[in-house]
Amino acid sequence: MSQGSLYIRILLVAMILIMVNVLSSYFFGSIDLTSDKRFTLTEKTKEIVPEIKDFMSIRIFLEGEDFPAGFRRLRTEVEQFMKQLRKINPNVHYQFVDPTSGTDEERAGRLSEMQKDGLDPVRLMVSDGASSSEKLIFPYAQINYGERTSVINLLESQTPGQDQEVILNNSAALLEYKFASTINHLLKYAKDNIAFLAGHGELEQAQTAALEKDLRRHYNTARMVLDSLIQIDPEIAALVVAKPKSAFSERDKFLIDQYVMNGGSILWLIDRTDVNLDSIGKYGVYVPTEYDLNLDDLWFKWGFRPNADLVLDIECTRIPLQVGQIGGKPDYKLFPWFYHPLLGARSDHPVANNLDRINLLFAGSIDTVRTGTDLKKTPLLKSSDYARIQRSPMRLGFDMAHQQPDPSKFTRSEITIAWLIEGEFPSLYKNRVPQAFQATLNELGSPYRERSSKAKQIIVSDGDIAKNLYRSDARQYSALGFNKFENFVFGGNRDFVINAIDYLIDDSGVMDSRKKELKLRILDGVKADNEAVKWQLINIVLPLLGFLLFALGNHWWRKKKYTVKE
């Protein structure tokens, strides 16, 4: 082979490589060979994305220097997902933005605007081995579609003691759900309506302010008093009954019954007993009473029965109790309080799957019962394997908190605290509709229904799961899930309630993408440190040795082939 031919071949190979590289920047393709199908979109996502008819701009704030390795991996996962969306629909345009770039003045102005939009930074300590510094990271994506804007928090909240790799892995697993759900909401021309029931001592608007603020990104919310209605508007997509304390009249129950019979969905957040820490602290020994809600017959007819008991769990949060005095002032220490269970994800249902820990206050157990119609019952929240039930009547005091828990007394496992019931519900008033109620239906031109169309209900035995703390003097409310004693926000509370409402309203199936799980393959740190030199040699020396052997072999073969024998 002449030297000129060799140069031509090298030039052709270089040109081919350049062309392939240029074309790859315009065309995206991949084959998913992973066992957990991490790069495969769900069918519902593939149906939603083509519906984007206009320009959709997505700004992702995971950009900057000196990112920790885990966040660089999350950025890569987001970019991979964005490429998949853009491959399906070219109307999707995305860019990565560094919010900390520019001059000090530009950066301050930008960060101020972002915080007004609720984009609060995550503060991380970044170490280079010799020193460490604090870095602000904004794990958000902002989607603009027409005149509508929505923000996605790409980072799952952290429970105390939880490994950062687990958090980032869960965040990557939920990327598809968060983007698909948000895009689905942005594509709707009108928001669905959610009504919070009032008039029976339910949580006040100030106590659900944090929840309603989050809901209003995609829904309309309002308060509704049944006394002023003759029918619950079927345009209400979901009804939230949050911690009622007084009895429901038969008229109220009939309105709720017919709302469900017409396909309405309800989120029940129920306390069966009147108990809180203030009452125990005030009386020393407290005997809680049961709330008389007059709803047992309705719930029983629909297949569930919240019990007048309390669940005690060894996995729980703590409360402060006085242990003495220091300098004439009370000295407090935190003690485990078994009546405040800390629940982990024990369900693979989309409502509860991949959730952070959920902190409940004085939750009870819930049983299911057989009904006259075919209903599907799915447990959503359960206690740990070390729990027990305390039935009413009961005496409560703080003495238990000062004692070491006896595991032999916590023998119940996976006590169900929340259920999803879905299907065709039977009416409580079958063959016994009061004449006045029937007259009202006739006036409305709405026939009485004794069996529902497909409907959904979720029952949680703790009304406080939707409650935020509120300071009336400052008119400030805390984040949903904030525990003032632990000084920590349990993000699972917010996510569970939002997921529950999303599931009750959405029939599109987009929540199925929440089932996606990415297997976390974490290196053995001790083994990696002990064998560091070995693997460095394998990764550096072996490739060089292989290249050298190939060069020598190629030289020997060419010499043998082209040497002219005399």
Q: Are residues 392 and 253 in the same domain?
A: yes
Of 243, 234, 260, 233, which is closest to residue 204 (Cα–Cα)?
Answer: 243
CATH code of the domain containing 149 = 3.40.30
- Mean pLDDT over 60-75 rounds to 79
- Mean pLDDT over 230-245 rounds to 94
Give yes or no for a contact between 193 and 219, defined as CB atoms under 8 angstroms apart.
Answer: yes
Q: Could you report the per-residue pLDDT of 446-483, keeping only the tens digit for each?
A: 888 999 989 999 999 999 999 999 988 878 899 999 99
Q: Are residues 42 and 165 in the same domain?
A: yes
- Mean pLDDT over 358-378 rounds to 93
Q: Which two tokens stand for residue 39?
A: 């790069």
Q: Are residues 166 and 251 in the same domain?
A: no
Helix axes 69-88, 175-187, angle to 10 degrees: 40
Q: What sign does the CA torsion over 212, 213, 216, 221 have?
A: positive
Tell whether 45 is covered by a domain.
Answer: yes
> What pLDDT is stored for residue 34 in this prediction?
52
- Mean pLDDT over 202-216 rounds to 94
Q: Could you report the per-residue pLDDT of 526-553, keeping only the tens digit for each?
A: 565 667 777 777 778 778 787 778 777 7
- Mean pLDDT over 287-312 rounds to 94
Q: Distance between alpha carbon 91 and the CA centroid of its chain, in Å?
A: 28
How many helices (H) and strands (E) in the chain? Answer: 14, 26
> What pLDDT is stored for residue 158 in this prediction?
62
Give whichever of 98-102, 186-190, 286-290 has the largest mean pLDDT.
Answer: 286-290
Q: Distance between alpha carbon 172 and the CA centroid of its chain, in Å?
A: 13
Tell whether 565 is covered by a domain.
Answer: no
Q: Are residues 460 and 336 in the same domain?
A: yes
Q: Are residues 220 and 152 in the same domain?
A: no
Q: Are residues 109 and 209 in the same domain?
A: no
Q: Which residue has the higher pLDDT, 291 or 8?
A: 291
Tell whether 354 is covered by a domain.
Answer: yes
- Mean pLDDT over 363-380 rounds to 92
Q: Are residues 131 and 166 in the same domain?
A: yes
Residue 513 pLDDT > 50, yes or no? yes
Final residue of a structural domain among 473, 491, 509: 509
How many domains is the chain partitioned into structurally?
A: 2
> What pLDDT is stored for residue 33 in this prediction?
45
> What pLDDT is stored for residue 26 in this prediction?
59
> What pLDDT is stored for residue 17 in this prediction?
75
Q: Are residues 180 and 219 in the same domain?
A: no
**How wide is the angle at C-alpha 352 spanned by C-alphas 405 and 356, nearest 5°?**
60
Q: Are residues 174 and 247 in the same domain?
A: no
User: In this predicted structure, which of 60-74, 263-277, 461-475 has the lowest mean pLDDT?
Assistant: 60-74
Tell whether 517 is covered by a domain.
Answer: no
> Who contacts 387 (Cβ-Cβ below 8 Å, separation ≥6)?
311, 312, 313, 314, 341, 410, 412, 413, 415
Of 155, 153, 209, which is closest to residue 181 (Cα–Cα)?
Answer: 153
Q: Are residues 51 and 125 in the same domain?
A: yes
> What pLDDT is stored for residue 54 in this prediction?
92
Q: How far apart are CA 83 and CA 279, in angstroms?
A: 56
What percentage of the chain reaches a pLDDT higher than 70?
88
Tell whether 534 is covered by a domain.
Answer: no
Tell whether 88 is covered by a domain.
Answer: yes
Strand locations in 383-474 (E)? 387-391, 416-426, 451-460, 470-471
> What pLDDT is stored for residue 564 in this prediction?
58
Give the number of other CB atoms < 10 A from CB of residue 556. Answer: 10
Final residue of a structural domain among 509, 524, 541: 509
Confidence of residue 7 (pLDDT cuts 50, 70, 90): low
Confidence of residue 42 (pLDDT cuts 50, 70, 90): confident
User: In this predicted structure, which of 65-69, 437-441, 456-460 has the lowest mean pLDDT?
Assistant: 65-69
User: In this predicted structure, which of 215-229, 371-385, 479-493, 540-554 has the lowest mean pLDDT?
Assistant: 540-554
Tell whether 528 is covered by a domain.
Answer: no
Give yes or no for a contact between 457 and 266, defined as CB atoms under 8 angstroms apart.
Answer: yes
Q: Are residues 204 and 176 in the same domain?
A: no
Q: Give residue 439's domain range.
A: 190-509
Give yes or no for a contact between 273 and 362, defined as CB atoms under 8 angstroms apart.
Answer: yes
404: left (phi over 0), alpha (psi -120 to 50) or beta: beta
Query: In Å, how far are 81, 135, 354, 374 from 513, measured between CA atoms?
Result: 13, 32, 11, 26
The dihedrals phi and psi of 74, each to the nearest 5 degrees, come to: -65, -40
The dihedrals phi and psi of 362, each to the nearest 5 degrees, come to: 55, 55
Final residue of a structural domain among 509, 531, 561: 509
Give yes or no for a contact between 424 and 395, defined as CB atoms under 8 angstroms apart.
Answer: no
Q: What sign does the CA torsion over 32, 33, 37, 39 have?
A: negative
Q: Are residues 171 and 249 in the same domain?
A: no
Residue 252 pLDDT > 90, yes or no? yes
Tell whether 361 is covered by a domain.
Answer: yes
